[in-house]
Amino acid sequence: MNPIPVNEPLLNGNEKKYLFECIETGWISSEGPFIKQFEEQFAARVGRKYGIAVSNGSVALDAAVTALGIGQGDEVILPTFTIISCAAAIVRAGAVPVVVDCDPYTWNMDVNQIEAKITPKTKAIMVVHIYGLPTDMEPVIALADKHGLHIIEDAAEMHGQTYKGLPCGSFGAISTFSFYPNKHITTGEGGMLVTDDEKLAERCRSLRNLCFQPQKRFVHEELGWNFRMTNLQAALGVAQLERLDEFVSRKRHMGQKYTELLSDIPGLLLPVPKTVYAENIYWVYGLVLKDEVPFDAVEAMQHLGKHKIGTRPFFWCMHEQPVFRNMGLFDNVYCPAAERIARRGFYIPSGMALTDEQIEQVAKTLHEIFG
Ligand X SMILES: Cc1ncc(COP(=O)(O)O)c(C=O)c1O
Residues that bind ligand X (CB under 6 A): 56-58, 82-83, 85, 128, 154, 156-157, 178, 180, 191
Reduced to 3 states (helix: H, G, I; strand: E, B; else coil), residue 256 is helix
- What are the angstrom distances between the C-alpha of 187 and each of 5, 175, 368? 19, 18, 37
Task: Provide the sign of the torsion angle of the four alpha carbons 254, 258, 261, 264, taken in this order.
Answer: negative
The C-alpha atoms of residue 201 and residue 261 are separated, in whole angstroms, by: 45
The C-alpha atoms of residue 351 and residue 218 are separated, in whole angstroms, by: 43
Among 247, 238, 187, smallest CA distance to 34 is for: 238
For the sheet containing 50-54, what is the strand order?
Answer: 50-54, 191-195, 174-178, 150-154, 122-128, 75-79, 96-100
Which one, 140 or 363, has the nearer CB to ligand X?
140
Shortest distance (Å) from residue 213 CB to ligand X: 28
Among 194, 174, 182, 168, smallest CA distance to 40 is for: 194
- Number of Cβ atoms within 10 Å of the Cβ of 84: 15
Which one, 10 or 369, has the nearer CB to ligand X?
10
Which one, 136 or 154, has the nearer CB to ligand X?
154
**Residues comprising the chain, all counted:** 371
Q: Which residue is nearest to ligand X (CB)?
A: 57
Mode of pairing for the β-strands spanning 50-54 and 312-313: unpaired
Among 334, 272, 366, 354, smallest CA distance to 80 is for: 334
Which one, 80 or 178, has the nearer CB to ligand X?
178
The C-alpha atoms of residue 180 and residue 192 are separated, in whole angstroms, by: 11
Which one, 126 or 354, has the nearer CB to ligand X?
126
Which one, 82 or 240, has the nearer CB to ligand X?
82
Which one, 114 or 262, has the nearer CB to ligand X?
114
Shortest distance (Å) from residue 41 CB to ligand X: 19
Reduced to 3 states (helix: H, G, I; strand: E, B; else coil), residue 53 is strand
- Number of Cβ atoms within 10 Å of the Cβ of 221: 8
Range 24-32 contact pairs with CB under 8 angstroms and sequence separation of 24 or more: 27/231, 28/230, 28/231, 28/232, 29/228, 29/230, 29/231, 30/228, 30/229, 30/230, 30/231, 31/231, 32/230, 32/231, 32/232, 32/234, 32/235
Which one, 43 or 60, has the nearer CB to ligand X?
60
Which one, 18 or 81, has the nearer CB to ligand X?
81
